[in-house]
């Protein structure tokens, strides 16, 4: 584990150094990453110039959801978002290179083309979350502080797992990178808003099937001390860390199965 | 009646567009995967709009059905209109970097017509492969408002193609900056942000209040989604349709004209590497 982390830091460090050779380009790309993702929040602000609540939630409450989801997705995307290019490496056989290195293939793949510019997205998520934590009507207790940290950590693990799952699927179907986007960026968009605006079947789906509702929705209900609008059991709001661990375990299993299935290219 | 000269010019361009269409048509899995993503986002965004319009039932002159239909029109047009940029730009930038662009400058069809034909061929495939199925999925899941008459359908198609041309003009000017900057990525990103926001892709432009709203509705990006959608939804009828189409044509002419001027200047920057 320590060895893997060391390898990851080393490999991504190489990419950071190569990025820094074009410093202006790096700054422009980072700022624009920030701005592109911030556009979603601007849309929210424009909506709130016309109404003062959405699905029964105020702007600062939605910002809590939005900030958590964006920060978590941003960190996951920064750390291992490039795994979405696995399909290309499977197609042209260059994934072989990853297998002969003295580093786990997953580590090698995650660090590949590590793009530091993605801190732009992390920055905008952190900014919105910071603002929300200061302004949302949360009755702060020690338990709620712990819950906030657990929420951000679990959310990051859940999104990271979805990235890896999206990559692993490409062992089977190398052209389906965009399907993964529907779950990562789609999951991010979905969880930027309170589940209260979605129909119950959809919320049931993202609770029990693809558990992105645990990214922020259930812990936030606890932080805001609100009843579940769908009447789901209140134990759900404490389950995010457990769900995150479960998702990570399943992802590990799928990745290994996919890896065993990889047969390189012909000729 | 066309003169022989015109036929000689249009023949190759039609052939280029046809090949470009075929090229994109080969990526079947990618088309399905993209469709899936459009559909997911369509569903999610639709519910955020439903939440907004359930509180303001007549926001921007749209009712709930209009708003939901707008979401699916916007999702359907992302690929063909290249709202976020893309299309011919990937090839174009690559050819500037490699210097192959010098060959394109000598093509008998002319440089801009060549790339416009490539992009229109691509867009035509995306209309069939992405737009039509996206709207069909939307209509299955939600109650959408469809154009009432065959004439409206035709006008929607016309407006959608004009949207591609306006978008082409913007993307061409953006890509052309590579002649001066060598790398147009930064400018492309700025163009992406403008495209996402100013096209109405994130929120229909009718929602924006005051001066900001007026400016957005007069900017070229309004030609991307807002004008075709307003024709589709019947918000523009009679003379207003003509005004909408004229708005698109005006921006298309202006942007293509600017492209020709910029290209003339860019040509002086081309240095062909000898060997």
Per-residue pLDDT at B4: 63
Per-residue pLDDT at B275: 45
Give DSSP secondary structure letters for B154-213: HHHHHHHHHHHHHHHHHHHHHHHTHHHHS--HHHHHHHHHHHHHHTSSSS-GGG--HHHH
Across the interface, whether the CB atoms of B37 and A28 are under 8 A apart is answered no
Q: How far is CA A245 from the centre of its chain?
A: 15
Give contacts of A 116-175 with B, CB under 8 A: 173, 175
Across the interface, whether the CB atoms of B185 and A25 are under 8 A apart is answered yes
Which distant-in-sequence residues (6+ apart) come within 8 Å of B103 by Cβ? Answer: none
Q: Is residue A257 within 8 angstroms of chain B, CB to CB? A: no
Binned average pLDDT, 10 residues per bin, chain A of 267 residues: 91 92 85 90 93 95 97 96 89 88 91 91 96 97 97 98 93 82 92 97 96 97 96 96 98 95 76
Predicted model pTM: 0.92
CA proximity to B247, closest of B216, B272, B202: B216
**Helix ranges (DSSP H) in chain A:** 2-19, 23-48, 59-80, 86-92, 95-100, 105-111, 119-135, 142-169, 177-190, 200-204, 217-224, 240-261
ipTM computed for the complex = 0.92
In contact, A160 and A80? CB cutoff 8 Å:
yes
Q: Which residue among A33, A47, A175 places its CB closest to the CB of B52?
A: A47
Per-residue pLDDT at A221: 97
Q: Could you give the maximum distance between any two Cα atoms of chain A, in Å?
A: 64
First and final C-alpha spacing in chain B: 47
CA distance A67 to chain B (A): 17
pLDDT beneath 70: ranges in chain B: 1-9, 271-275
Alpha carbon distance A203, A213 (integer Å)? 7
- Phi, psi dihedral angles at A216 (to 5 degrees): -150, -30
Across the interface, whether the CB atoms of B209 and A49 are under 8 A apart is answered yes
What are the C-alpha distances in Å from B109 to residues B116, B131, B162? 11, 29, 21
Per-residue pLDDT at B272: 60
Q: Which two tokens stand for residue A226?
A: 């609100």
Alpha carbon distance A176, A207 (integer Å)? 24
Q: Which two tokens stand for residue A15?
A: 């990419």
Across the interface, whether the CB atoms of A190 and B207 are under 8 A apart is answered no
Q: Which residue among B56, B189, B203 places its CB closest to the CB of A43?
A: B203
Across the interface, whether the CB atoms of B190 and A32 are under 8 A apart is answered yes
């Amino acid at each position: 584990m320590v060895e893997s982390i060391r390898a990851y830091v080393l490999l991504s460090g190489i990419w950071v150094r190569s990025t820094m050779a074009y410093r202006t380009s790096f700054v422009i790309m980072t700022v624009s990453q920030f701005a592109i993702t911030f556009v979603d929040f601007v849309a929210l602000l424009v909506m709130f110039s016309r109404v003062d609540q959405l699905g029964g939630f105020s702007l600062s409450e939605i910002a809590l959801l939005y900030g958590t989801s964006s920060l978590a997705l941003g960190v996951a995307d920064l750390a291992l978002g490039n795994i979405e290019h696995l399909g290309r490496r499977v197609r042209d056989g260059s994934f072989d290179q990853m297998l002969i290195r003295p580093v786990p293939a997953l580590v090698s793949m995650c660090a590949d083309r590590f793009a530091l510019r993605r801190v732009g997205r992390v920055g905008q998520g952190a900014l919105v979350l910071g603002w929300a934590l200061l302004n949302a009507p949360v009755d702060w207790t020690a338990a709620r502080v712990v819950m906030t940290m657990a929420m951000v950590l679990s959310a990051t693990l859940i999104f990271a797992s979805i990235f890896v799952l999206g990559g692993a699927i490409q062992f089977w179907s190398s052209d389906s990178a965009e399907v993964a986007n529907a779950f990562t960026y789609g999951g991010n968009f979905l969880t930027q808003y309170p589940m209260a605006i979605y129909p119950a079947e959809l919320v049931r789906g993202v609770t029990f099937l693809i558990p992105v509702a645990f990214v922020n929705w259930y812990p936030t209900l606890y932080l805001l001390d609100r009843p579940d609008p769908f009447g789901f059991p209140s134990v759900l709001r404490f389950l995010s860390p457990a769900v995150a661990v479960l998702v990570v375990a399943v992802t590990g299993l799928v990745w290994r199965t996919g890896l065993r299935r990889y047969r390189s290219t012909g000729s | 009646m066309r003169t022989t000269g015109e036929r000689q010019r249009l023949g190759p361009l039609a052939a280029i567009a046809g090949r470009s269409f075929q090229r994109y048509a080969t990526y079947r899995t990618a088309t399905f995967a993209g469709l899936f993503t459009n559909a997911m986002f369509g569903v999610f965004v639709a519910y955020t709009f439903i939440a907004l319009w359930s509180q303001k039932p007549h926001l921007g002159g749209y009712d709930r059905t209009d708003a939901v239909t707008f979401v699916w029109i916007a999702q359907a047009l992302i690929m063909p209109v290249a709202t976020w940029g893309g299309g011919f730009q990937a090839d174009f930038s690559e050819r500037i970097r490699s210097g192959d662009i010098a060959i394109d400058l000598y093509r008998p069809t002319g440089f801009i017509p060549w790339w416009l034909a490539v992009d229109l061929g691509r867009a035509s495939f995306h209309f069939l492969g992405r737009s039509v199925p996206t709207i069909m999925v939307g209509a299955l899941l939600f109650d959408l408002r469809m154009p009432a008459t065959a004439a409206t359908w035709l006008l929607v198609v016309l407006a959608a193609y004009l949207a591609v041309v306006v978008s082409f003009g913007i993307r061409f000017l953006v890509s052309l900056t590579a002649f001066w900057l060598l790398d147009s990525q930064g400018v492309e990103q700025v163009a992406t942000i403008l495209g996402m926001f100013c096209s109405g892709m994130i929120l229909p432009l009718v929602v924006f209040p005051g001066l900001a709203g007026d400016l957005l509705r007069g900017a070229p990006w309004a030609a991307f989604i807002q004008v075709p959608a307003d024709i589709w939804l019947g918000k523009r009828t009679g003379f207003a349709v003509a005004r909408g189409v004229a708005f698109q044509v005006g921006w298309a002419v202006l942007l293509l004209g600017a492209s020709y001027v910029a290209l003339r200047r860019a040509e002086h920057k081309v240095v062909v590497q000898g060997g």
